């Protein structure tokens, strides 16, 4: 490496620091090193194919930065997560979820006046087109709510034609507002549909978290007023799930959007990706796992199974591609568990005792220590949701609802980046080389 580093992707400054790559044929290429504000530098390989005729190879993106972004910073070794420079712990302790949405989207925490306006704008977009209920009614009652959400969110593009032009800044802002505002309504509708209850309309007099709980649990026959403890817990859970830089679902939203597709369809793609058990689907799996364990005495049996590669079983809610230390979100949730359970009046939750003991045993076990496998955000969230009366099947939809803020902020950042290009990965081809076709009647 030599000279200074460059901050502009793709264009090395005259004195930029470079990495030199020498290929077996003796060809040598200089690859500029780009520095961010924090975190590892990146080696810019965009000109590699043009200059050397080779691709880089990194399935699963183990060492590849797919974009530059100024929204979220993670230091996985230290267990640090910050949005726009603010630690997740501080945001979760002090903010309303909508303040965090505004921060993610606009770069700064809103002033009182800005917040008032943002809250008003979101509140007045929470209602969904009345026709959407017929889409819901087309689904079998036993559908997983994630299946409904994938369709419902993508279908917003059929209803809101005035926010589909991604080249128009005002339309982009309107699309972002609509998605964040309508997700709780769509999520609660998916729940109501699954239990055969009438849909509950949003209430403009309520705050964002309160309104969601109201749409989940009120019925036309009975009013429902969530307790301040429930509202606080919901608000905190939403903040903790709001964004997480270039995770699988966010990268899906970015890749889908890179073709210029409309944001509603792209967030639908993100929801599909989130559903998988290695990603957001893990919160549902954690609770099912804790229920299956059933007793602290059975923990060693499950730890043994998780270490056995032939079992196909993993400790759900454990491990993370980026965190090689405690996931800070899990730290906040673990601390909140006892407090929330007490506040909502749940005494002696046996699953919490199992979870804490499972964590304790795993963190002393060589297998988990050597691989740096710690609890992630999904490990404790389900216990809190359960205490709040939220059914297990709704855990992943709640993740999707909160993560919509991150998806739309990352989408907007990408569209507004002049360097934005269609995402088009290359491959290492391992198939047949050219061969002659034998007509069907001559094939043996």
Q: Catalytic residue numbers?
A: 320, 378
80-83 and 86-87 beta bridge pairing: antiparallel
Residue 278 CB, nearest distance to ligand CMC (Å)?
4
State the Cα–Cα distance between residues 16 and 37, nearest whole angstrom.
16
How far from the centroid of its chain's Cα atoms is residue 1's Cα?
A: 36
What angle in degrees, to the nearest 10, is found between the helix axes of 263-274 and 145-159?
Answer: 170
Residue 323 CB, nearest distance to ligand CMC (Å)?
8
Residue 442 CB, nearest distance to ligand CMC (Å)?
46
Q: Looking at beta carbons only, is 181 or 316 nearer to ligand CMC?
A: 316
For residue 88, how many other CB atoms are within 10 A of its CB?
A: 25
For residue 247, how many other CB atoms are within 10 A of its CB?
A: 22
72-75 and 42-43 beta bridge pairing: unpaired
State both tokens at 217.
């649990």
Q: Cα dist. 193→54, 135, 151, 152, 219 in Å?
A: 52, 11, 14, 13, 12
Q: SS3 of 222, please?
A: strand
For residue 137, how many other CB atoms are within 10 A of its CB?
A: 9
Cα–Cα nearest to 124, from 82, 185, 63: 185
Q: Looking at beta carbons only, is 378 or 413 nearer to ligand CMC?
A: 378
State the Cα–Cα distance between residues 385 and 344, nearest whole angstrom.
11
Q: SS3 of 233, please?
A: helix
Residue 45 CB, nearest distance to ligand CMC (Å)?
22
Q: Looking at beta carbons only, is 211 or 251 nearer to ligand CMC?
A: 251
State both tokens at 305.
């199974």
Q: Looking at beta carbons only, is 72 or 211 nearer to ligand CMC?
A: 72
Cα–Cα nearest to 253, from 421, 426, 409: 409
State both tokens at 218.
């009120």
Q: Looking at beta carbons only, is 210 or 243 nearer to ligand CMC?
A: 243
Residue 381 CB, nearest distance to ligand CMC (Å)?
9
Strand partners, 34: 6, 42
DSSP state of 15: T
φ/ψ (deg, to 5) at 383: -65, -35
Q: Looking at beta carbons only, is 14 or 62 nearer to ligand CMC?
A: 62
Give me the helices (H) in 282-327, please.
282-293, 299-307
In the bound state, the residue with its beta carbon closest to ligand CMC is: 319
State the Cα–Cα distance between residues 322 and 318, nearest whole angstrom.
12
Residue 443 CB, nearest distance to ligand CMC (Å)?
41
Q: Looking at beta carbons only, is 178 or 279 nearer to ligand CMC?
A: 279
**Under 8 Å between Cβ of 195 and 143:** no
Residue 324 CB, nearest distance to ligand CMC (Å)?
10
Q: Looking at beta carbons only, is 116 or 371 nearer to ligand CMC?
A: 371
Q: Which residues of the shown chain bind ligand CMC in the complex (CB under 6 A)?
A: 247, 278-280, 282, 306, 314-321, 371, 373, 376-378
Residue 248 CB, nearest distance to ligand CMC (Å)?
7
State both tokens at 186.
């769509």
Side-chain-facing half-sphere of 82: CA atoms under 13 Å: 15
Q: SS3 of 337, please?
A: helix
């Amino acid at each position: 490496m030599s000279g200074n580093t460059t901050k502009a992707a793709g264009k090395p400054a005259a004195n930029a620091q470079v990495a030199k790559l020498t290929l077996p044929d003796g060809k040598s290429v200089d690859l500029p090193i780009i520095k961010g504000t924090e975190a590892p530098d990146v080696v810019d390989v965009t000109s590699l194919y043009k200059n050397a005729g080779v691709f880089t190879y990194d399935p699963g993106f183990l060492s590849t930065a797919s974009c530059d972004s100024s929204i979220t910073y993670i230091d996985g070794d230290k267990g640090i997560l910050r949005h726009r420079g603010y630690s997740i712990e501080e945001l979760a302790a002090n903010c309303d979820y909508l303040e965090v949405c505004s921060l993610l989207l606009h770069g700064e925490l809103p002033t009182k006046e800005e917040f008032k306006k943002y809250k008003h704008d979101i509140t007045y977009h929470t209602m969904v087109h009345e026709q959407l209920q017929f889409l819901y009614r087309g689904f079998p009652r036993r559908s997983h709510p994630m299946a409904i959400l994938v369709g419902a969110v993508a279908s917003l593009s059929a209803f809101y034609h005035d926010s589909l032009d991604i080249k128009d800044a005002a339309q982009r802002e309107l699309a972002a507002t609509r998605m964040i505002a309508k997700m709780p309504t769509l999520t609660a509708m998916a729940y109501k549909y699954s239990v055969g209850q009438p849909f509950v309309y949003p209430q403009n007099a309520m705050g964002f978290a309160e309104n969601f709980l109201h749409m989940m649990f009120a019925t036309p026959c009975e009013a429902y007023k969530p307790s301040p403890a429930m509202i606080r817990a919901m608000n905190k859970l939403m903040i903790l799930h709001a964004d997480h830089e270039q995770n699988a679902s966010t990268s899906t939203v970015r890749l889908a959007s890179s073709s210029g597709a409309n944001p509603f369809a792209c967030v639908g793609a993100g929801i599909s990706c989130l559903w998988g058990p290695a990603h957001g689907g893990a919160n549902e799996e954690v609770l099912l796992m804790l229920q299956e364990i059933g007793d602290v005495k059975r923990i060693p049996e499950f730890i043994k199974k998780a270490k056995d590669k032939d079992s196909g079983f993993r400790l759900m809610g454990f491990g993370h591609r980026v965190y090689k230390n405690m996931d800070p979100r899990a730290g906040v949730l673990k601390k909140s568990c006892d407090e929330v359970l007490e506040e909502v009046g749940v005494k002696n939750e046996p699953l919490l005792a199992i979870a804490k003991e499972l964590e304790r045993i795993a963190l002393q076990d060589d297998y988990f220590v050597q691989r740096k496998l710690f609890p992630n955000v999904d490990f404790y969230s389900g216990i809190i949701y359960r205490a709040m009366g939220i059914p297990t099947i709704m855990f992943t939809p709640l993740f999707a609802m909160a993560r919509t803020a991150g998806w739309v902020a990352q989408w907007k950042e990408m569209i507004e980046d002049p360097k934005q290009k269609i995402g088009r990965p290359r491959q290492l081809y391992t198939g047949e080389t050219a061969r002659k076709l034998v007509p069907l009647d001559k094939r043996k």
